[in-house]
Structure 1
Amino acid sequence: MSTKQIVALLNSHVDGDEEQFLSIALQVAAQEARQGNVEEADRLKRLVQKARDRGTVGVPKGQTPIPLARPRGELQGLVESAYPKTTLDSMVLSDDLRRRLSRIVRQQSDRATLRDHGQVPATHILLVGPPGTGKTMTAAALAGELRLPLFTVRLESLFSRFFGETAGKLRLLFDQIAQTRAVYLLDEFDAIGSRRGDPNDVGEIRRVLNSVLAFMEEPNSTDSVVIAATNHSEMLDNALARRFDEVVEYSLPDDQAASLLLNRRLGKFKPAAKSWSKVKPLLNGLSQGELVRAADAVVRDAILADAARVTIDNLCAALSDRQAFRVRFHPEPSAK
């Protein structure tokens, strides 16, 4: 352990910042692992997990506070922090998607048990699918389920603001992942995960991609959940795609899922069920995000009109508007 780490440990102890104290201990564990001292690193990780479990004794399940953590230093302004209360139950998911996401939550929640048996939880997740199908909401739901902060970095803006320095900025992000347990969402992941050798490739993108490949091989000492989301899975480099523990694919909802989502979003304002037949032909091809926007629009109108329910005509008009928008900006919805 370096003098700097010892000073940081003592400072966090004096300040009563137990989370920072444990994060530094995990840094030491990661350093030991990189030096080949795997047994010592695992022992440190188990002790940290025991300390964290001790801190939640007597607290009802699901009520543990989300640790307050924010990006520091040069990461400020590059990473957005949030503390979601979203859960998987608040999402309309297929049985297969719910099963796979619940498995990730279970592994993360019982990661100490897995480590006792020489296993580690899934930590690198790739979400792929069309815009508006629930990828970003999934990141929020996993953070909410695990009572962890959600850090979001939009990689496209990182490139545009710091072109030539992107690899260095990402290294700062990777260092935070090694220090602070959280859910990290790398949105628009195809911005850095494009295939090497692409005719439009440039040296900076290759350096960034190599940095990400190296990072994904590093031990995840904090068991942070790193989520990459993309609308263009076909653009990802094969070597990068293989490094994810789970690849979860999203698609547009079928009529049943779309109806369920609309009913849930409309809540007490939903129109009578007997008039629902007029709505169903307008659901085809709309994403979850587009359905939510249509529902919210008519609910706002109903509230301002002091109406108890939305009218079926207003709902159909809102869905037609979303269909027109889809046709205008996504003329080939079947091409994913």
Structure 2
Amino acid sequence: MNLYNLIIQDKEEVSLNDVFLEPQNKQHFVQLIKEQTYSKELQEYGLPVNNKILLQGSSGCGKTMTAKAVANALGRNIIILNLSNIVSSRIGETSQNIKMIFDKAARERSVLFLDELDQIGKARGSDDKDVGEMRRLVNTLLQLIDYYPENALLLCATNHAEIIDTALLRRFQLKINYGMPSADFLDVFYDKILAEFPEDLKNIERKYGISFAEAKDHAFTVVKGNLIKKLEAGTVKE
């Protein structure tokens, strides 16, 4: 399997201000970026630099977008690896592929973003043989995280932290929770994404109790439907 086929290529430039984060979470990332920026100075005082971060919680609430924003703020490339795409029936091959990607990220001082970390946890336990093989894979990942250099940044994401091996969880210096946004927070989000449209297209029925990604899809679908109706009726001004 070609190493580069496993990496998700994404050149989207995102700033931290583009990500809808709870104030406490945003402050965590602001400090994380500053720690990376002043890592040498902090280390001179014997202070460790946080470089292994777990983003955990609801899907569609900005974990991947956050990782892109952090990489952009640091002026580094981001390597995105979805673990659901890399786990193969040959566990040895999977371990080798993960090691190559860790080595690449460390060598280039890239931001390494491992998505769906729980895939390793989920894969364990189907039968006795599989338990042994997956445990060896987890051990490989533990070693890679332990020896990941301080001048590189590792971000991992999961929707199901409760099923991840506890030994893995302990490796992360910072765990940041992503919950479903409140109605007020979603209103701010709706206002922002609808602001670019004419007034007669902004007035949509808003859904709540959903993620930012779902809210965006809902809003754009309704706006497109309303615009198409106007186009068909010939009421859209050029």
TM interval, short-chain normalised: 0.7 to 0.9
**Equivalent residue of 2:9, what SS?**
strand
2:1 is the alignment partner of 1:77: no
**Structure 2 residue 190 is the aligned partner of structure 1 residue 269:** no
Give the corresponding residue for 1:298.
Answer: 222
Q: Distance in 2 between matches of 1:162 and 1:152?
A: 22
Question: Tell me, which stretches of 5 or more residues in structure 1 are unaligned?
Answer: 1-72, 309-336
Paired residue for 2:142, among 188, 213, 221?
213
Superposed, 1:250-261 pairs within 5 Å as 250-261=178-189
Aligned-residue offset at 1:154: 1.2
Task: Provide Cα deviations, 1:161-191, integer angstroms capped at 9, x if missing partner.
Answer: 7544111111111211221111111111011
1:116-265 aligned at under 5 Å gives the runs 116-160=44-88, 163-193=91-121, 198=125, 200=127, 201-220=130-149, 223-265=151-193
2:213 corresponds to which of 269, 275, 289: 289
C-alpha separation in 2, matches of 1:108 and 1:190: 26
Larger radius of gyration: 1
CA drift at 1:204:
2.3
2:190 aligns to what SS in structure 1?
helix
More moved, 249-258 vs 155-164? 155-164
Equivalent pairs counted in the alignment come to 229
Distance 1:270 1:177, change over 3 A: same
Deviation at 1:115, TM superposition (A): 2.1
Q: Choose 122-131 or 263-272, whichever is displaced more.
A: 263-272
The residue identity in structure 1 corresponding to 2:53 is I
User: CA contact under 8 A between 1:82 and 1:149: conserved in structure 2?
Assistant: no
The 2-side partners of 1:81 and 1:123 are apart by: 22
TM-score (norm. length: structure 2)? 0.85
Instruction: Say which SS state the counterpart of residue 186 (structure 2) adopts.
Output: helix
Share of identical aligned residues, percent? 30
Which letter does structure 2 place at the counterpart of 1:99?
Q
Q: CA RMSD in A?
A: 2.6
Identify the structure with bigger relative contact order (alpha carbons < 8 Å, sequence gap 6+).
2
Q: Is the 8 A contact 1:125 1:247 kept in 2?
A: yes
Q: Secondary structure in 1 aligned to 2:6?
A: coil
In the alignment, which residue of structure 2 is the partner of 1:92? 20
TM-score by length of 1: 0.62
Report the more deviating stretch, 207-216 or 157-166: 157-166
